[in-house]
Structure 1
């Protein structure tokens, strides 16, 4: 099965922008430009729309960059910090490439009582299929998130908390509009 996105490219982008500046807007903008340079047929470097997202209690902002049935790429983060549940995806691996800030996590099923090593700018981690973590995202943390597998199976987790627990219909509407725009763009090519 071939994929369009190479995690090694995402890792290089994160390493390149980490520590360039403390201005997170600049970091995100530069990361999107580098991703668009690497994948001009998939990622639009133009200004995107941020959408509120709450999944597993993790509240933040997401910018959708690429979405297909088998892969997605987003920028996610929070200016003030957040914590919650990673989700458990049976059919998708979730990679995180930290651009700024810090993410602390722990394995929910492990007999280990210590946290996993902190994720720092320029570093990456992968939540393997079927695993789950508790996590804390420090204030000012932003990362590239890449999902690989049966992406549609992630949508209930990504939307239900926002819709049912928060009753935040506008964020669900905006997310749906962003998914639709990305899919239309793919179909036009």
Structure 2
């Protein structure tokens, strides 16, 4: 007669089996969640274009007009940054009164530093929603770093100075001067540099919140500048929430 065996409390084989089963369930749930999240992102990328208000072509026309106007107003100056930015903002407000714009760029309290991908610059937020943002971005002393691999298309409309970039495998650099547009395509990564006193109108279109971790990572793992992080979240969050309440996704 065969004796039956009942697992006793503390039986190591049973404990190990239960642990393995629990681990498999956890990873199964994670895999399902990841698959659903990827599927949602792919679906979202098919509909986000219906929420865009701005276009890169129209913005470049506005930039070109601002550059010409600034040169006419102050032909002898080697640096027309303030005039260019001022006329540019005035035109954006005039062309798109339906958009909520931040226009007081001379107020230093509304400028924030941005450390991302090893590069450091400062930015002034003109407009931010879930699918679009437009900022003045650059550096008075120059910078260099990693572009990031994003879920949005990023367009740098160069206002002053010069930006250069290249993708891995390229043996020559791309060069962008005032009036040029540097399109950093979604999913593509580059190393880029900005010469001293390079300023650009940066326009991103896509799912903007997914870009934020890249913009915050250097704070947590390098600069530990939590005050700047607070002001960045304050300014960006305020604009996104305000535009959501206005019906702008």
Return the alpha-carbon distance in structure 2 between the equivalents of residues 152 and 61 of structure 1.
19
Q: Determine the C-alpha separation between the residues in 1 that align with 2:235 and 2:177.
A: 29
- Counterparts in 2 of 1:97-176, with a 5 A limit? 97-108=157-168, 111-116=169-174, 118-176=175-233
Larger C-alpha radius of gyration, 1 or 2? Answer: 2
Alignment of 1:4-19 (within 5 A): 4-18=53-67
Per the TM alignment, residue 76 of structure 1 is displaced from its structure 2 partner at its CA by 0.2
Q: 2:103 aligned to 17, 38, 46, which one? A: 46
Deviation at 1:75, TM superposition (A): 0.9
Hey, which of these two has a bigger chunk of strand by percent?
1
Distance 1:128 1:64 in 2: 21
Specify which of 93, 100, 114 is matched with residue 153 of structure 2. 93
Shift of 1:43: 3.9
- Structure 1 stretches lacking a partner, 5+ long: none
1:58 offset after TM fit, Å?
Answer: 1.3
Q: Distance in 2 between matches of 1:188 and 1:69?
A: 12
d(CA) in 2 for partners of 1:79 and 1:115?
22
Query: Once superposed, which parts of structure 1, at least 4 consecutive aligned residues long, lie more than 2 Å away?
Result: 17-21, 43-46
Partner of 2:43: none
SS in 1 for 2:200: strand
1:82, distance to aligned residue in structure 2 (A): 0.6
C-alpha distance in structure 2 between counterparts of 1:27 and 1:168, whole Å: 30
Q: 1-side partners of 2:61 and 2:100: how far apart? A: 16
- TM-score in terms of structure 1 length: 0.90
Give the corresponding residue for 2:239. Answer: 182
More helix by percentage: 2
Normalised TM-score (structure 2): 0.70
Residue range with higher mean Cα deviation, 119-128 or 38-47: 38-47
Q: Measure, in 2, the Cα distance between the counterparts of 1:32 and 1:72.
A: 14
Q: Is the 8 A contact 1:15 1:123 kept in 2?
A: no
The answer to whether the 8 Å contact 2:130/2:240 transfers is no
1-side partners of 2:236 and 2:186: how far apart?
Answer: 23
Cα 1:11–1:38 change in 2 (3 A) is: same
Q: How far off its partner does 1:35 sit? A: 1.6
The answer to whether structure 1 residue 64 and structure 2 residue 125 are counterparts is yes
* SS state at 2:176 partner: coil
Query: Relative to 1, partners in 2 of residues 1:16 and 1:163: Cα closer, same or farther, differing over 3 Å?
Result: farther
